[in-house]
Structure 1
Amino acid sequence: MKLQDFLGTQTKWNFEAIANDTDLTRQIQILLIGLYLLEPPADGKFGPISVASLKKFQELKKTGESDFLGAVTAKELIETKPEELPKPSLKLGNDIASRIVKYLLSKNYQVFTNPKEYNIVYVEGLDEDWSLNKDTPNQFNDQRILIEIVNGAPKIVNYWQATTEPGSRYTFSPMNDGGAARIKFGQYKAWAVGQHGNAERHQALVQVAPITVHRDFNKDFQRTGDKLDTGLFLINQHWGYDAPANDIKNASAGCLVGRRREGHKEFMAIIKQDRRYVANKDYVFYTTVIPGDDLMKMFPG
C-alpha cells in the first residue's frame, strides 16, 4: 500500500494496520523525517515514536484524523513542505530555560517539544545561579542542563556543575598530536547510552557519530585560531570523579563532564526515561553546547 492509494477513497487504516505494511510505514517515516517530525532512520517499523510523530503531524495540520490514516492525512503528508508546517506554540518567558530555548531557536537548532523528550544543553562559562563567570581554564565552571517542554513551556528538569573543556593535564600533554580537543559550539546528534572508562567504568553517553572539535595546538585554552577536526574522538559525556571544582585534574581530555558521580547518575537516570530511549535502547541523543556570554548577550535576564 502507498499513501497515493488512499487519495479520493474512504479507506481508513488504524495504526496496527500501518505497522503490518512495511512499505507504507517506510514511506510515512521518510516524509515525517523530511518534515523534521521524526528522526532517521526510516526502518519500516511503526512503533510508538512513529505513531507519536504521525499524530503530531495530524494535530499540526488539523486533519481531523487522530487515530487512523485516511485520505486527508495521506494528501497532507504527500504535499506538505517543511516551511508550510505550523510550528508548535511555545510559551517563552524570561526565565533561564526560556532564554536557552530562544537561543537554540535563533540558531535553528532542534528543540524537542514532546513529553519525556529531554533537550541536553551545556552552557559554557555559567554558574549555578545563572550568572556568567570568567570561564577560567581547568575549572568546572560550566553547566550541564536538561530541559523539557511541559505544556508548551520550557522547564529545567535538573542541572549540574560541568566542564565542556579539557583540563590542564591533557591541554599540556594532549592525547592527539594536533592538540587537545575542545568541542566546537553547536548541536550534534552523536551520543548513545554506553560505558565509559577502564579503571572506574560507568554508564555514560558515548560518542557514536562524528562531531567537530578545535585542536588546541598552541595550548592557550582558547578556540580562537585553532584548526577544526571532525570525527570520532571518544568525546563522551561522563562523570568527573568528584574532582575539585577548581581543578579538572585528569577528568577531561575534551569530554563533556559532570563533576560529581552522584550528579552524573542523576543525569543518566533521567536520560534513560526519555521516551525515545525507552522505545529504542540504541537511540542517538542530540546535545547542544553554547557559550554563556553569547547567550546572555542575546537574551539578557
Structure 2
Amino acid sequence: MNLYEFSNKKLEYSIDAIAADQELAKHIQDVLIWLKLLNPPSDGKFGPISAAALKEFQKIMKCEEDQFVGPKTAKALVSTKPDDLPKPALKLDNDLPSRIIKYMQQKGYQFSLGAGEYNIVYVEGMDADGTPNSDQPNYFNDRRFVIEIVNGKPKIVGNWEATTEPGFHYTYNPINKGKGAARIAFGQYKSWKVGIHYGGGSDPHEALAQVAPITVHRDFNKDLKRTGDKTETGLFDVNQHWGFDLPRNNISFASAGCLVGRTRDGHREFMKLIKQDKRYQMNKEYLFLTTIIPGNELDK
C-alpha cells in the first residue's frame, strides 16, 4: 500500500507495521528524503534511522500521533513540501568549515545538521590550516575532515593527513592492468559502512568499507590525473583505511585508489569519532555519506 491509499483509510500503523509493508515504508522514506529529513537511498527497510526521521517530521508538523502513523501523519506526508518546513539557520562565515559547507551548498550536496551527526569530507590538495597546496603526486597532501554542525555553526571536529589518490606504485602497477588505477571522482557517495580493510592481508584493521557504488576515473595513461580519463561506476573495494604510518612524501603501497588517512593513530581517532555518530549508534549497518572536494575549487 502506498501513502495515498493509506491516507484515505482510518488506519494506525506502528513502526513495525510500516516496516512490514515495504511499499509503504519506501514511500514514506522517499517523502522524508525529499523533505531533507532523511539521507538517501530509500530501500523499504524501515529501521531506527527512518523511524527517527519520521518522528522528527511528526514533531515539526504537530501530528500528535506518537509511536504510530495515522490519518494526520499520512495526510501531512502527502501534502507537505520542502518549503513548508522551517529552515535551520546556518551561521556561516569565512572560516574553513564554513567555506566547506558553502561549497557543498553550491554543489547541492547533502550535509547533516545537529549534535552527533558527522559529515565526512576529503579535500584534495589542502594543508591542515585550509591553505591549498600543489597536490603533488605520491604525497599525503590531502585532508580528511569530520565536520559537525551544532546550532547552525559548522565545526571541524577531526582533521587528519590523507590521500584521495593512488601513489606511484599502483599508478604504474595497477591492480586492474586493463583499465588503469582507480581515482575517485569528485562528488558525494553514501557508500561505506564500518568493516575491515584487508588490503594485502598483512595488516587488517577497522575501516569504512565500500559496500555501495562509487564513480572512479581510470588512469590508463598513467599520468596521475583525472583529465580525459574514462569513468566507471561500481564496487572497487575503495575503502577508508590507514596509511601504515608511511612518510608524508611517499604513498607507496598505501593506496590503490582508497581514501587513506596517513597514520594508524589518526585513523583510529577517525573511526572512534564517526562510530559515535548517533545514526550509527541506532543502526550498526548505517551507510556513511562521504564528500570528496578539489581544494583548488573551494573558494571559487
What is the CA deviation profile of residues 116-161 of structure 1, one whole-angstrom value per residue up to 9, with x for unaligned ones? 1111100000001211111000000000000111112111111100
Q: 1:72 to 1:50 in 2, by over 3 A?
A: same
Q: Aligned residues, how many?
A: 291
Give the share of equivalent positions with the same residue, in percent: 58
1 CA distance for matches of 2:136 and 2:96? 22
Range moving further from structure 2, 103-112 or 62-71: 62-71
Equivalent position SS for 2:298: helix
Partner of residue 190, structure 2: 189
**Structure 2 residue identity aligned to 1:131:** T
**Structure 1: stretches of 5+ with no match in the other structure:** none
Q: CA deviation at 1:73?
A: 3.5
Counterparts of residues 51-70 of structure 1 (less than 5 Å): 51-60=51-60, 62-63=61-62, 65=64, 67=66
Counterparts of residues 107-146 of structure 1 (less than 5 Å): 107-146=107-146
Corresponding residue to 1:248 among 235, 246, 251: 251
Q: CA deviation at 1:173?
A: 1.0
Partner of residue 262, structure 2: 259
What is the CA deviation profile of residues 28-60 of structure 1, one whole-angstrom value per residue up to 9, with x for unaligned ones? 334323433224445454x54233312332455
Q: Is the 2:65–2:72 contact (alpha carbons within 8 Å) kept by the matching residues of 1? A: no
What is the CA deviation profile of residues 192-215 of structure 1, one whole-angstrom value per residue up to 9, with x for unaligned ones? 111112100000011111111111
Partner of residue 105, structure 2: 105
Corresponding residue to 1:279 among 269, 273, 282: 282
**Structure 2 residue identity aligned to 1:224:** T
Equivalent position SS for 1:244: coil
Q: Is the 2:114–2:151 contact (alpha carbons within 8 Å) kept by the matching residues of 1? A: no
What TM-score does the superposition give when structure 2 sets the normalisation length? Answer: 0.87
What TM-score does the superposition give when structure 1 sets the normalisation length? Answer: 0.87
2 CA distance for matches of 1:283 and 1:44? 12
Q: 1:18 to 1:180 in 2, by over 3 A?
A: closer
1:74 maps to 2:74:
yes
Q: 1:187 to 1:27 in 2, by over 3 A?
A: closer
Partner of residue 235, structure 2: 232
**Structure 1 residue identity aligned to 2:190:** K
Counterparts of residues 27-38 of structure 1 (less than 5 Å): 27-38=27-38
2 CA distance for matches of 1:2 and 1:227? 40
2 CA distance for matches of 1:66 and 1:119? 31
1:202 maps to 2:205:
yes
1 CA distance for matches of 2:268 and 2:287? 19
2 CA distance for matches of 1:186 and 1:146? 16
Q: Is the 2:145–2:156 contact (alpha carbons within 8 Å) kept by the matching residues of 1? A: yes
Partner of residue 179, structure 1: 180
2 CA distance for matches of 1:82 and 1:172? 48
